Amino acid sequence: MWYGVGEGWRDLAALLERGLTDSGKSTLCRFLVDELKGRFTVAYVDCDTGQSVVGPPATMGLAMHGGSAGSPAPYLRFVGSISPAGHLLQTVTGAKRLTEKASEAGASVAVIDSPGFVYGGAAFEFQFQFQLIDLLQPTHIVALQRSRELERLLANFRRHPGIAIHRRPGISPAVVPRTATERRAYREARFRMYFAEAGPRKISLRRLGLHGGSPT
């Protein structure tokens, strides 16, 4: 598989292998998983509900790689939206539960693909990324920024004794920016692929609870 490896990615993978573990955006995350899965049991925690990799859009997913157990089926958590806006609690709670699930499954490394929810009023008002990092307490934060747009966020953790911050300027040459139309098409394709073999099912609702109006 060709990634269009960005500057310093291999050094970063080696650094994370020594100090273990965390973070990035989708292309970098998949690169790190492939680099580490031959030596560790690696969990890929996909929190980007708009451009999901592990499951269909509107879900968060956990995929295990490496280890003696092989590759079990992904674990999915339904959030109900393609954006954390309006679903901040569900997104933060889902990220926490998925990382706990990864630990329970025996992962020694967790690579977390965070939502790209940094800009805009809701992201700023609720300090979404700050709350997510504060809750998950990663040992490493990888910041991919074009200039210094993430520095206000990173300033909150630069003196944290248990968190190392790695700044990577620019983006991978493999990353092609998508228009809103292309992102919508990607989600539609993911939905079609996931539900390609779907059919009608009858499920008894007796003795089931309700979560957000949906049976659980």
What's the pLDDT at 114?
A: 86
What's the pLDDT at 5?
A: 56
Q: Where are the domains of the chain?
A: 9-197
Q: Which residue has the tokens 């210094």?
A: 148
Tens digits of per-residue pLDDT, 123-174? 554 477 888 899 999 999 988 877 887 888 899 999 999 999 998 765 555 5
- 72 near 141, Cβ under 8 Å? no
- 9-197 belongs to which homologous superfamily? P-loop containing nucleotide triphosphate hydrolases (3.40.50.300)
Q: For residues 76 and 92, what is the distance between their CA atoms, to the nearest angstrom?
A: 15
What's the pLDDT at 107?
A: 93
Token pair recorded at residue 150:
């993430």
What's the pLDDT at 69?
A: 58
Which residue positions in the chain have pLDDT lower than 50? 1, 18-24, 125-126
- Residue 181's contacts (CB-CB under 8 Å, 6 or more residues apart) are none
